[in-house]
Amino acid sequence: MAAIYTGTDFELDPDSPVAESVEEHEHGGVCVNRETKVSWVKVFLRGKSSPASERAPGLEQQESTGPMPEASGSRVVDESDYSTFENKTGLAEDMKFLASMPELCDVTFLVGDTREPVCAVKAVLAARSRVFHKMLYQAPSPQRKKEAPTRENKIRLFLKRSSEPLLNLQNAAQQRSGFTQQLAPIQEPQSNQHHTLIIEEFEPDVFRQLIEYIHTGCVTLQPRTLLGVMNAADYYGLDELRKACAGFVQCCITVDTVCALLASAERYIQYKCTKSLVQKVLEFVDEHGNEVLNLGSFTLLPQHVVRLILAREELRADEFTKFQAALMWSKKYYDSNQDTPLKDIIGNFLEYIQFHKIPTNALVNEVHPLGLVPDGIIMNALAYQADPTSVEPGKLSPPKATAALTAAVSDEPRREDIFSNGENERSFYEHPRNGDVAPTDADIEEWEKKELQREEEQQRQKQQEQQREEEEQRQKEKEQQQREEEEEEEKEEEEKKQLRLKEEEEEEAKLREEKKQQQFEEQERQMQQQQHEQKQEQQEQQEQEQQQQQQQQQQQQQQQQQQQPNIHPIDGLGGLYIRLVLRREGRTDLVWLYKTHKF
C-alpha cells in the first residue's frame, strides 16, 4: 500500500472508492477504516472536504463569463475585477525536473553509510525549512573585524543622504542600507560555490523522498520508508509532512506491513515520533498475534524486538505458535551464524513461552523430539497438565519483559513490564493448592522472592557467561596473534628460501657462464692447434713434393744417363767431358775428349 501526499491531501490507489469506509482522524482529516479494507481515500489535513468545497470558488462565475484556460491540477479564482490562475501540478513537475538535474543544483548531500549523493537547490531548501536555512546560510564563520564609524563619517553620510532627491527611492534605500551596515555589521552572504554535506542520520531513500517533497510539495508514502520520512520531517521542521505521515500510519498498519515498520523503527528508535508509532504497531501485533508470528518476514526482526513481542502479556497468540515463531527465527539466524548452536539461540526465547499451556500431543510429538527444550521444562509442563498442584508456579511462569526491552517504546517502564501484577500472578494459581484454599499474600511474596532469586541467578550466569566469552575472546586473540606470528615467521622463512634459491640460481648461472667460457677457450685452442698441425702438414707435403721432384729429376737424369751411357762425368776433371770413341769394324781407333759443358 502506498499514498501520494501533495501538501494538502494524499490519495491511495483508486480501485474501490467507498464513502462509508472512512473515519475522522485526530489530525483534522480522515483515514481508512481497517475493518472494511478500503484501498482508496483522500485525506485533507488542512480541513474537512466535501464535494462542494472541492470546486474552485470561481467556477460559477466562470460558467457565466465564458471559458477559462484549462490546465491539469489548476484552479481559477474570479472576482469582480480580477482572476487568479494557479497551476500547482505543473509547478511541482517543473521543480521535480529541476531537482533531478545535478547541473542545476548547488548543494550535494552524501547520505547514509554508502554516501549516496542527493542533489538539491539551497534556496528552495532554505525557503521551505528553517533547519536547512540555518545549515546552509547561517553556518558559523569567522567575521572580519570592522572599525567603528567615526562621528564625522556618520554626519557625512547623513548629509549626503539628505541632499539627494527623494524621488529616486531605490538609491535612497541603498544609501539607507549602506548607512545601517556602517552602524551594525551584518553577516556577509556566502559564495555561490557548490557545497557538499554529509547526512548520516537518515537512509538515502528516506532523504531523497524528503528532498523531493521540499522541491515539489508531493511525495509517495510507503510503509518501508514511512518511519524515516516522518522522523526526517520532524527533524527538519516540516510539520505538514509529519502530520501526513502520522495520518497515513493508521491506514498502512496491516499484517503484511507490520514487520517492515518494526524493522525500520530499529534505525530511528531515538526519535520521539518513532516511540509513539512503535507503541501503536505493538498494539496491532497484540491484536493479530497468531497472524504476525506466522509471517515469513517475522524472521527479519532483530532479536530484542522478537523478545519484546513474545514477552508482552497483551499478545493474543497461542503458546505453541510462539514456540514455532521462536524456532523459525532461530533457524533463520542459525543459517547465517552456524558457529552458535541452535539450542543456545532458541534458549533466548524459552523464558517467554508457557509450555504448560501447549497441548500434550504437541509437547510430546513435536517439541520434545527436536531436543532444543530442556527435559526439565517439558516434564514440569506435563506434570502440571496432569496435576497442577504437583508443580510450583515459579517453575512454569516465564519472567516478564524487562525494563531494557520496554525502554525502546516508552520513556518510563511500567511495573507490570518488570513484575506481573496481582491479577496476572494469580492466573498461575488457577488451581488452588491445599484443597479450595486460595493462595495468600505470603505465598505471592514468597513467589516474588523466588522470582527475584531466579533473576539474580540468571544475572550471575549471564555474567559468568560473559566472562567466559571474554576469556574465549582473549584466547582467540592470543591464538590469532600466535598464528600471525607463525605466518610472519613462515613468510620470513619463505623470503629467505627464495633469496637462497635466487643466490643459487645466480651461482649456477655464473658457473654455467664460466663453463661456457672455458669451452670456448678450449675450442679456440683446439682450432689453433688444428691450424698449426695443418700448416705443418702443408710444409711436410711441400717438402715431400720437393723431395719427390728432386727424386724425379734424379730419376730423369738417371734415365737420361741410361739412355746415353757413354756420356758420364770424368772424376778428377773440372767439367763434363765427352769421350768419343770411334769404332769401326770392332776396334777402337781414336779417342777424343771434348769439354762440352760445366755444371
At 462 the pLDDT is 82
Q: Where are the alpha helices (DSSP H) in 138-254?
A: 151-163, 169-183, 204-216, 223-235, 239-252
* Domain enclosing residue 381, as ranges: 358-399
Residues 339 and 304 in one domain: yes
HSE toward the beta carbon, residue 121, CA cutoff 13 A? 18
Q: Is 6 part of any domain?
A: no
Greatest mean pLDDT among 23-37, 119-133, 178-192, 446-460 lies in: 119-133
Position 26 scores a pLDDT of: 41
Instruction: Say whether both 289 and 197 belong to one domain.
Output: no
The pLDDT value given to residue 574? 52
Of residues 77 and 419, the one with the higher pLDDT is: 77
- Provide the pLDDT for residue 58: 38
pLDDT in tens, 418-428: 333 333 333 33
Which one is predicted more confidently, 316 or 423?
316
pLDDT at 328: 93
pLDDT of residue 210: 92
Tens of pLDDT, residue by residue over 376-410, are: 888 888 888 888 888 776 666 544 444 334 444 44
Do residue 471 and residue 340 come from a single domain?
no
Beta bridge partners of 44: 9
Of the candidates 353, 382, 417, which is a domain's last residue? 353
Sheet of 219-221: strand order equals 42-44, 9-11, 3-5, 219-221
> Within a 10 A sphere around the Cβ of 339, how many other Cβ atoms?
5
Whether residue 208 sits in one domain with residue 329:
no
The segment with the largest mean pLDDT, out of 86-90, 142-146, 575-579, is 86-90
- In this prediction, residue 506 has a pLDDT band, given cuts at 50, 70 and 90, of very high
Whether the model pTM is above 0.75: no
> Same domain for 98 and 240?
yes
Taken in order 209, 297, 249, 51, the sign of the CA dihedral is positive
- Structural domain count, the chain: 4
Query: Is 127 a domain residue?
Result: yes
- Burial group, residue 575, by CB count within 10 angstroms (0-12, 13-18, 19+): exposed
DSSP codes, 177-210: HHHHHHHS--PPPPP---EEEEE-SS-HHHHHHH
Which strand (E) or helix (H) includes residue 272?
Answer: helix 272-287
What distance in Å separates the CA atoms of residue 345 and residue 332, rounded to the nearest whole number?
Answer: 10
User: Does one domain contain both 205 and 317?
Assistant: no
Output the CA angle 537-540-542, nearest 5 degrees: 110
Tell me what percent of the residues of the chain surpass a pLDDT of 90: 13
- Domain assignment present for residue 307? The answer is yes
Residues near 232 by beta carbon (within 8 Å), at least 6 away in sequence: 201, 202, 206, 207, 210
Mean local confidence (pLDDT), 247-258: 84
Chosen domain end from 353, 379, 408: 353
Instruction: Find the CATH number of the domain harbouring 114.
Output: 3.30.710.10
Domain end marker among 252, 268, 290: 252
Residue 262 and residue 321 in one domain: yes
With helix as H, strand as E and coil as C, how does 4-34 read?
EECCCEEECCCCCCCHHHEEECCCCCEEECC
Confirm whether 310 is domain-assigned: yes
Is the domain of 340 the same as that of 288? Answer: yes
Instruction: Answer whether residue 363 is part of any domain.
Output: yes
- In the 8-state DSSP scheme, what is residue 66? -
User: Is there a domain that residue 551 lies in?
Assistant: no
Same domain, 327 and 372: no
340 in the same domain as 389: no
Say whether both 263 and 332 belong to one domain. Answer: yes
Give pLDDT, residue 266: 78
SS3 at position 577: strand
What is the rounded CA–CA span in Å between residue 213 and residue 239? 12
pLDDT band at 4 (very low <50, low <70, confident <90, very high): low
Give yes or no: residues 104 and 219 share one domain.
yes
Specify the DSSP element, H or E, that contains 530: helix 441-563
Confidence of residue 554 (pLDDT cuts 50, 70, 90): confident
